[in-house]
Chain A
């Protein structure tokens, strides 16, 4: 909670308040002040069995901003993202070395409870994956398992604010008890975002959240991400360079398991330092 209160100071540094109509230049101003770091990765290597998928990745994630991970397919973007909430633990035979800190605390240290970590680090997947439960129960799920709501009205409050933040409230407020799987793809994805927000995570990971959606639903999601960054730290994997440019402040380019280049989004897209980045953003491979 303490980090959230600092937000007012940061807003001015970020320029205009959240809105959909923000232009590329405003969003990615090079001269904006850097935010404090939310997460840091140092020399992170990931092995799937014998196969190494990530090589010595060093990356800083700023709070209250959007960090985009881009790169050709199979370069390890999802792998890195899954390190941040230790979802890699659920894949048998995976090994992570190096150090990843969240608010200065090593998330791979033995004493840490992954359940607690995942309550602080939310995740939105590529394909919307609502549970086969009602819309209400979907959003309330995390709050229930973590005991965030004291009574029924608390829970209703959490559900409605989460749905509002995910800008889904108006579309579903009359059908909260219908199954979440009955919504359209874009609505389902926003439902999943609401479900993640409902646990009040500090960091939200999104793995190609709009890749299964049509352009209009995609625009809604992007708008939403832009609003969410006022309160949350977001790391997003995307294949669309336009999307990275539109929503992110910092961009990291991965290639063959290496972090090639990371910097302010504008710099990555206008003045990349590495030849491979240039080739990728100009569409020469990937």
Chain B
């Protein structure tokens, strides 16, 4: 029924558009240039008037209908069923009624429930039809109101533009609200976590064993929520990734900008961009099935013990994943150095290498650094590769051949399986998420600032 309502409103809006447009045309025919707005704006004005209020009305109706009917149902039930009953029990009662009405009967329902279910079905039907009728009449009333306002000097364009700017404001407000909501929930849950586990323990503790069954009275004592090993593991893997990606990406960019001829560039650039398009889960595969065993075998051939899910394998593959990032941002930064700079050096008799090292690279450095920071924030926040290829045990080590775990891996494992939403184990995920968010956000802000400042200096 809601679908029909939306369809009807859409059709009415289209009709309204043509009514408004033809009115606009008629005005033009009558008074020519004196008409304030073009016919399309007359049409759009009427269409908006017809469509939007009716749409809001229907949406509100859908939102409130269930609540109102439920209240009515509860009121209609015999008093002994509802008096002094907890709200949880009441909602069970309501869902039983809904189930019976929908024909999903698990146990023989009591006669009162069956009656209520019948009432529910009737009210529900009435409410839907009422919605359709109300929505359509709102649309039709709006059509007449809007049509009656049209006149040659009527500012239909301004009215429509007002609506469009309102729409844009609403969209951006929605985006901002969602962001604020996510951050607020992170902060809120993290605060609940820190109420149980003191922040000093979380930020400075060296022992992370959240999976142990912990009784409420033991939580703060054991030192099981010290996140240092996780932070160190995250930084270790990100560092290995940067160690792989930065030189390769930078040299690839230098080669592409300054040395490669256009045929090579036309092949290599898209290939690098394909790297960026590979789903991270595929990189994860590659790390687990190919790189990790290879690293391990190489290690054993040299007589070094390598953990099966070494930081080296995960970090190395992650480096390949962020490589196109660095290469394309460095490429942009190098290309953004004005050609005059390059010509100036070449005309003085500098070789291409000298031009690159002494003029182009220093000039592009801020952009390149910005790119590297952005890539680092990607590496720190990357999840799939490490979930598949890094370890689960939080060992405090800097040895790249050992298995370490990362913030993202821990968040995933903390929230997998049976969870209880007020146990410190679950809440710890929010605390970790908050830390991750703050770190990647600040990296991004710093990087964007640097890149921006650098852009300005050439404009």
Q: Which chain A residues have a beta carbon within 8 Å of chain B's beta carbons?
A: 85, 87, 90, 92, 115-119, 122-123, 125, 127, 129-133, 141-142, 145-146, 192, 195-196, 199
Contacts and interface: CB of A to CB of B under 8 A. Distances in A.
B261 interface: yes
Nearest to A133: B362
Given A92-B261, A92-B262, A145-B354, A131 B345 contact: yes
Interface in B347-364: 347-351, 354, 358-359, 362-363
Contacts of B358: 141, 145
A125 B342 CA distance: 12
B431 to A, nearest CB: 44
Given A92-B262, A127-B340, A132-B362, A142 B348 contact: yes
B344 A115 contact: no
A145 B338 contact: no
Contacts of A192: 344
Contact of B349 (A90, A118, A130): A118
Contacts of B350: 115, 141-142, 145
A119 B350 CA distance: 8
Nearest to A128: B340
| 8 closest residue pairs by CB, A with B | A119-B349, A129-B340, A123-B347, A118-B349, A142-B348, A129-B344, A115-B349, A145-B350
Interface of B: 261-262, 338, 340-351, 354, 358-359, 362-363, 457
Given A87-B346, A118-B348, A133-B362, 10 more contacts: A90-B342, A115-B349, A122-B348, A125-B343, A125-B347, A127-B340, A129-B343, A131-B341, A142-B348, A145-B351
A123 B343 CA distance: 9
Nearest to A130: B344
A67 B345 CA distance: 24
Contacts of B262: 92
A131 B354 CA distance: 13
A87 B339 CA distance: 12
Given A92-B261, A131-B359, A145-B354, A196 B341 contact: no
Nearest to A126: B340
Nearest to B344: A129
29 contacts: A85-B347, A87-B346, A90-B342, A115-B351, A118-B348, A118-B349, A122-B347, A122-B348, A125-B343, A129-B343, A129-B344, A130-B344, A131-B345, A131-B359, A131-B363, A132-B362, A132-B363, A133-B362, A141-B350, A141-B358, A142-B348, A142-B349, A145-B349, A145-B350, A145-B351, A145-B358, A195-B344, A195-B348, A196-B347
Contacts of A196: 347-348
A180 B429 CA distance: 52
A127 B351 CA distance: 22
B261 to A, nearest CB: 7
Contacts of A115: 349-351
Contacts of B347: 85, 87, 118, 122-123, 125, 196
A116 B347 CA distance: 10
B377 to A, nearest CB: 27
Given A132-B362, A145-B354, A119 B348 contact: yes
Nearest to B342: A90
A130 B423 CA distance: 63
A130 B348 CA distance: 12
Contacts of B344: 125, 129-131, 192, 195
Nearest to B457: A132
A145 B348 contact: yes
Scoring A87, A133, A141 by chain B CB atoms within 10 A of each residue's CB, the highest score goes to A141
Contacts of B342: 90
Contacts of A85: 347
Contacts of B340: 125, 127, 129
Nearest to B354: A145
Contacts of A129: 338, 340-341, 343-344
B150 to A, nearest CB: 53
B454 to A, nearest CB: 10
B343 A87 contact: yes
A90 B341 contact: no
A129 B348 CA distance: 12
Contacts of B354: 145
Nearest to A137: B358
Contacts of B341: 129, 131-132
A130 B261 CA distance: 27
Contacts of B261: 92
Contacts of A123: 343, 347
A278 to B, nearest CB: 35
A129 B458 CA distance: 11
Contact of A199 (B346, B348, B362): B348
B303 to A, nearest CB: 49
Contacts of A195: 344, 348
Contacts of B457: 132
A90 B362 contact: no
A192 to B, nearest CB: 7
Nearest to A92: B262
A147 B137 CA distance: 88
B153 to A, nearest CB: 50
Contacts of B362: 132-133
B345 A141 contact: yes
B343 A90 contact: yes
A196 B262 CA distance: 31
Nearest to A192: B344
A52 B376 CA distance: 49
Contacts of A87: 343, 346-347
Nearest to A119: B349
A145 to B, nearest CB: 5
Nearest to A93: B262
Nearest to B350: A145
